[in-house]
Amino acid sequence: MHVKAYSGRKKLNLRAAVAFGLFSLANGSLAFAQAPTPFAAQETMDIGDEPGRISTEEVVIEDGPYKRQLVSFRSSEPAGTIVIHTSERFLYLVLGNNRALRYGIGVGRDGFQWSGLVKVTRKAEWPDWTPPPEMIARQPYLPRFMAGGPGNPMGARAHYLGSTVYRIHGTNQPETIGHAVSSGCFRLANGDVIDLYSRVAVGAKVIIRHAATL
């Protein structure tokens, strides 16, 4: 997995990049995802949020399974629906005609994963961040409030999910994409969340599942 235009001090963890098998058409326009390996489903990074670490809006995952790509995706959901498979570390934006845009994501670590049906109730560019008390109890060094910007762990864009405290948002830790690391939110590299933001409307349905259903 190669991250483009990232400014930070940690090296990328490459183990997740080989966790999935993919079949692509010759022109690279369509990829078919296979089931994740048990190792990938258990991948957890035991690190906390890093407020102040800079990651710009140009950050994208350039290669590997977590690169944004058009895939075959059978679904009866209407175009514009978001389907998240936490065990696979993928977010699918349904396009119709059995196709979807697939984005690599970071998901909740053990004990913080959830499933359900919600809607996008609000969207924000460079959102502010107010960590909830439960998160501050686990990470006492966190600020009680942080204005939006490149050093904000919420990243470049946020989609607020129903009345929950969870969001689909960017990150200033793009090396965590493909891992279970968050407190229940779903994170994308900033360039990917900006792309998703431009395609998703307020009111869009969001389906969170642990794994694909047959």
- Model pLDDT, residue 3: 64
How confident is residue 38, by pLDDT bands cut at 50, 70 and 90?
very low
Q: Which residue do the tokens 């119709």 mark?
A: 96
| Prediction pTM value | 0.76
CB 154 within 8 A of CB 170: yes
Task: Name all domains of the chain by residue range, CATH numbers in brackets.
Answer: 3-209 (2.40.440.10)
Lowest-confidence segment of 55-64, 78-87, 93-102, 126-135 by average pLDDT:
55-64
Burial of 117 (0-12, 13-18, 19+ CB in 10 A): exposed
